[in-house]
Amino acid sequence: MARKTPEIPGSSLADIAFMLLIFFLVTTTMDVDSGLERKLPQWQEDQVEDDSQIKERNVFVVLVNRDNNLLVEGDVIRIEDLRERAKEFMANPYNEDNLPEKVLEEVPFFGPVEITKGVISLRNDNDTKYGTYLAVTNELVGAINELREELSKSKFGKSYDKLETEEQKAIRTVIPSKISEAEPKGKNI
Amino acid sequence: MSKFRKDDGKGLPPISTASLPDIVFMLLFFFMVSTTMREVTLNVNIKLPEATELSKLEKKSLVSYIYVGEPKKQFQTTFGVAPRIQLNDQWANVGDIQDYVIAEREARDEAEQKFMITSLKIDENTKMGIVTDIKQELRKSAALHINYSSRRKVER
């Protein structure tokens, strides 16, 4: 009998597989895309400016100019201070005259409760940087989220994220998120 | 050294490593399947802005992306440095967005269509003019649920 051809060693198979495994381990990115979630308003064909219905004290005007400066209710402020201002406006803890009115409403879990009529109005220039715009929106959304979190802690004793759907809905009713973005100017004029 | 002598009949036989490749292959296949390779080649430079109030995009299949940013170096001779829109692999204008949204919607199940999210990946130095135009187009095509893609802000 002629000499047998030697068998291919199978012991290195594991090494090859390990190498491939390590390659995929390194290249895999398990990152989840995250971002600031917003809902756009419905598109309306004839854009009616319906500001007359809302009283001046109920509107929190935020203007961002082309140099990325912030004008809030007539004051020039920094982005870092915006969250406090927005919280104060939406909560109006001492029922002051220059802050928004409240209406009494029946809400499940809460009973009759005063709900603010405040609306945040955000207007920016065409030359505003997107980064600034997002930072401002982030602060405004953050202010409302913080108020909801505080209410949730004091009412249910746990974080807003951990509440039942019905309870979250009640909190959303008590602290509404009314951020209106102005229609772009200079289109129909 | 009789303690280490093999085949004395008392010690345990060595653990067989013959199944090792199988185990490793199993892991390998798991990672090969779960890896998502980037399907879109970005033609624009995007540095996402920072934010704190983030929510996650959970169902990848329901998300359609719109990229806006400065064209990459190799395109700058053709397109200049002004921010441009990229949809899938192509350059686009603001007017193309409605068609894109409709095409994306057609590609999904009817039951899933109302849960669709548009993720806006926009460079932080872009001017708001183009962003506002995109938002108006999205409103016209009734894609109202959007997500401004951003990075988590590091607390200092």
Q: Considering its fold, how many domains does chain B have in total?
A: 2
Left, alpha or beta for A141 (phi > 0: left; psi -120 to 50: alpha)? Answer: alpha
Q: What would the pLDDT profile of A122-147 be if each residue is shown by its tens digit?
A: 988 888 999 999 999 999 999 999 99
Minimal Cβ distance to A43: which of B49, B123, B140 = B140
Q: Is A83 within a domain?
A: yes
B7 plus B73 within the same structural domain: no
**pLDDT (average), residues A97-120:** 85
The residues of A whose Cβ lies within 8 A of any Cβ of B are: 10-11, 13-14, 17-18, 20-21, 24-25, 27-30, 32-43, 124-131, 133-135, 137-138, 141-142, 145, 184
Q: Is A24 within a domain?
A: no
B24 plus B58 within the same structural domain: no
Strands A119-124 and A59-64: parallel
Does residue A187 surpass a pLDDT of 50? no
For the beta carbon of residue B30, count every other beta carbon within 10 angstroms.
13
**Cβ contact B31–A25 (<8 Å):** yes
- pLDDT score of A181: 84
DSSP SS3 for A106? strand
- pLDDT score of A104: 86
Q: Is B61 within a domain?
A: yes
- pLDDT score of B1: 52
B19 plus B59 within the same structural domain: no
- Residue A39 β-bridge partners: B145
Q: What DSSP letter does each residue of B39-82 carry, written as one string?
A: -S---EE--PPEESS-EE---GGGEEEEEEEEEPGGGHHHH-SS
**pLDDT (average), residues B113-126:** 91
- pLDDT score of B121: 92
Assign A188 a pLDDT band (cuts: 50, 70, 90).
very low
Which residue is closest to A14 within chain B, CA to CA?
Answer: B21
**Cβ contact A138–B31 (<8 Å):** no
- pLDDT score of A48: 59
**Cβ contact A28–B148 (<8 Å):** no
- pLDDT score of A132: 92
For the beta carbon of residue A2, count every other beta carbon within 10 angstroms.
4
Q: For position B143, which CATH number holds?
A: 3.30.420.270
Q: How buried is residue B147: exposed, middle or buried, by Cβ count under 10 Å (0-12/13-18/19+)?
A: buried
Closest CA relative to residue B121, chosen from B149, B90, B84: B149
Assign A149 a pLDDT band (cuts: 50, 70, 90).
very high
For residue B104, CA distances in Å to A25, A36, B51, B61, B69 come to: 32, 21, 27, 10, 21
pTM of the model: 0.78
Q: Is A8 within a domain?
A: no
What is the average pLDDT score of chain A? 83
Helix (H) or strand (E) holding A166: helix A165-174
- B126: contact with A, CB 8 A cutoff: yes
Q: Which domain holds residue B96?
A: 44-152
Chain B residues with CB inside 8 Å of A31's CB?
none
Q: What would the pLDDT profile of B46-105 be if each residue is shown by its tens digit?
A: 899 998 988 888 787 888 899 999 999 999 888 888 899 999 888 999 999 999 999 999
Residues B84-96: b if buried by 16+ CB within 10 A, e if exposed: bbbbeeeebeeee
Instruction: Determine the distance in angstroms separating the CA of A97 from the nearest CA of chain B, rounded to an integer.
Output: 31
Closest CA relative to residue B141, chosen from A186, A43, A143: A43
Contacts of A143 (CB under 8 A, 6+ apart): A82, A83, A84, A86, A87, A90
- B61: contact with A, CB 8 A cutoff: no
Q: Considering its fold, how many domains does chain A have in total?
A: 1
Q: Is B145 within a domain?
A: yes
Closest CA relative to residue A34, chosen from B108, B88, B49: B49
B56 plus B88 within the same structural domain: yes
Instruction: Determine the distance in angstroms separating the CA of A126 from the nearest CA of chain B, rounded to an integer.
Output: 4
What is the average pLDDT score of chain B? 85
Residues A97-120: b if buried by 16+ CB within 10 A, e if exposed: eebbeeeeeeeebbeebebbbbbb
